[in-house]
Amino acid sequence: MAAELFFQTIAELGALLDSRKLSSAELTRAVIARTKAVDGRVHAFNSFDEAGALASAAASDARRAAGQARGPLDGIPVGLKDVIAAAGQPLTASSKILANYVSPYDATVTARLKGAGAVVWGRLNCDEFAMGSSTENSAFGPASNPWDLARVPGGSSGGSAAAVAGGELIAALGSDTGGSIRQPAALCGVVGLKPTYGLVSRYGLVAFASSLDQIGPLARTVEDAALVLGAIAGHDPLDSTSFQADIPDYHAGLKQKKGPWRIGIPKEYFGTGLDPAVGAAVEAAIAFYRSQGCEIKEVSLPHTQYCLDTYYIIATAEASSNLARFDGIRYGHRASGAKDVVDLYFQSRAEGFGPEVKRRIILGTYVLSSGYYDAYYLRAQKVRTLIRQDFLSAYREVDALLTPTSPTPAFKLGEKFDPLALYLCDIYTIGVNLAGLPALSLPCGFTPAGLPIGLQLIGQPFRESELLAMAHTYEQAHDWHRRHPAL
C-alpha cells in the first residue's frame, strides 16, 4: 500500500487516517520520498520544507492520539504555488527579482489550510509572476509534464498541476488570472477549480492583475477539490474584494442529486484551432450528459472574439501598476553599481524581470499612458462588461456551460516561441476571468499519444456547489482520474 499512497485521494487517505491504518507521518514520508525520486525530472517544486512538513504531520498524529476529531484535510500533504505567502518560506513568484525574499506572514488561504491541519510541504514552480501558459517563463527553469517529460505542464500553475499528477502532492493551490489553474489541470490530467471572483481571499497572493486573479485548488478528483475549496473559501476582512456570502458544505453537496441540468454549448468555442482529439473527447462528454437526461442547448457568446484582446489590455495594465513596487529600493533584487536612484530603479528591474514580464509591463504602461488610456484601457473595460453580459444572458437559458479547457493537449517544451501562440492557449479560459465566474476543468480522455484532455464546466456566480456536483456526476461514471503517469 505504501508505494501507492501518493496516488490516493484526500477522501481515501482520510479514511485510512481515521481508522488508524495510516499515520500522517507515514503518508508525509511517502510523499517526500516520491518527490525526491521524481522531481529532478519534473521540477514541479522551487523549494521544500521537509522539516516543517514532518513536524506538521507529527502534530496531526498527536491530535488524533489525544482523541481530537480529524477534519478532512488534517494530516494531508499539500503544496502552494510560489505566489502564495507562507510565513518563513521563500516567496519568489519564480522571479529573480524575488529570489532571496522570505515571506514574513501567511496568506489567508495558507492560514486556513494550516488551521485545517493540512501539511504544507513545499513551494511550487510557475511562470514568473504567473505570466504564462507553459511554466517555461520560470526564472528557475521550466517544469515538465509527468505524462511526457518533453512536454509542458501548462501554466502558469504548471508546478501545482504537475506535482499532483506526478504523486508529489495530494493536492495543491494555484492562482488563475486567465486560465492558470484550469489549463495546466487539463494538460496534466487533474481537476482544477477557479472559484467565483471574491469567494477566496487574495490576501497574501503576489498580485498580477488584481481584478482577475483568484486562488483555487488543484486535486486528483472533484471530491478532493470540493474538500479543499471548503477549507479556503469565505469572507476575509483583509481582502477588500472578498465577498460576504454563506459558504455551503461543498463536499456534502456532491451527494445531493441536482441534475439533470440544462447545459449550454457555446458555438464560438468549437471552431478553428481545436485539436480533433480534444474535440472528440469533449463531444463524448456532451453525449454522456445527454444520456443522463440533461438538456443540451447551443448558445452564443458573441463577444468571445474580443476576449483575448480585452484580457491582454486589462491584465497588462494592472500588472504594470502592481509590479511598480519591485523597484530595487523597498524589497527584492537590488542592482549594484547604480549611479543614482533612477539608475538603480532601471538596473534592478532590467536584471530582475524576465522577458515575458517586461513585455507585459511595457504593454500595460502603454495602454495606461496619456493619450491612450481612453482608446485602450477604458474601451477594454467596456467590452469586458459586454463579455460578462454574454454569459449572464446565456444563464437565463441554461444552468452551466460546457467547453474544452484547452484547444490542444500538452505541447513540447520550446515549441511555441511566438508569444501570441502561447496567449492563444488560454482562448477558452480567459472569458471566465473577465466575467468573474467559477469554472472547473476535469479529465475527459486521452489523445492517441497518451496525453490528457480536459473538459471545462463554467458555472454561475457563487454556485460552485452545482458546478462541482455536475463535474462529480461525470467523474463517477469514468475512470480518467484513476490513470497515473509512469514516471
Catalytic residue among 56, 156, 175, 242: 156
55: Cα within 13 Å, side-chain hemisphere: 5
The strand pair at 262-266 and 400-404 is best described as: parallel
CB 410, CB 151: distance < 8 Å: yes
| CA–CA distance, 391 with 393 (Å, rounded to integer) | 5
CB 191, CB 481: distance < 8 Å: yes
Q: DSSP states of 408-445 as a string?
A: SSPPBTT---SHHHHHGGGTTTHHHHHHT--EEEEEEE
Number of other CB atoms surrounding residue 258 within 10 Å = 15
| CA–CA distance, 182 with 179 (Å, rounded to integer) | 5
Edge-to-edge order in the sheet of strand 215-219: 45-48, 119-124, 77-81, 171-175, 215-219, 191-194, 439-446, 452-458, 400-404, 262-266, 295-299
List C-alpha distances in Å: 421 to 188, 312, 337, 397, 442.
Answer: 20, 13, 38, 34, 24
Q: What are the b/e assignments for 105-133, b being 16+ CB within 10 Å? A: ebbbbbbbbbebbbbbbbbbbbbbbbbbb
CB 436, CB 304: distance < 8 Å: no
Cα 24 from chain centroid (whole Å): 26
Residue in 311, 266, 297 with CA at minimum distance from that of residue 456: 266
Is 465 a residue of the active site? Answer: no
Catalytic residue among 81, 114, 194, 416: 81
Q: To 10 degrees, what angle do helices 24-42 and 10-18 make?
A: 150
| CA–CA distance, 316 with 369 (Å, rounded to integer) | 12
| CA–CA distance, 465 with 462 (Å, rounded to integer) | 8
Is 81 a residue of the active site? Answer: yes
Number of other CB atoms surrounding residue 340 within 10 Å = 7
Catalytic residue among 24, 94, 157, 180: 180
| CA–CA distance, 308 with 313 (Å, rounded to integer) | 9
Is 416 a residue of the active site? Answer: no
The strand pair at 119-124 and 77-81 is best described as: parallel
**Which are the contacts of 330, defined by CB distance < 8 A and separation ≥ 6?**
none
Active site residues: 81, 156, 180
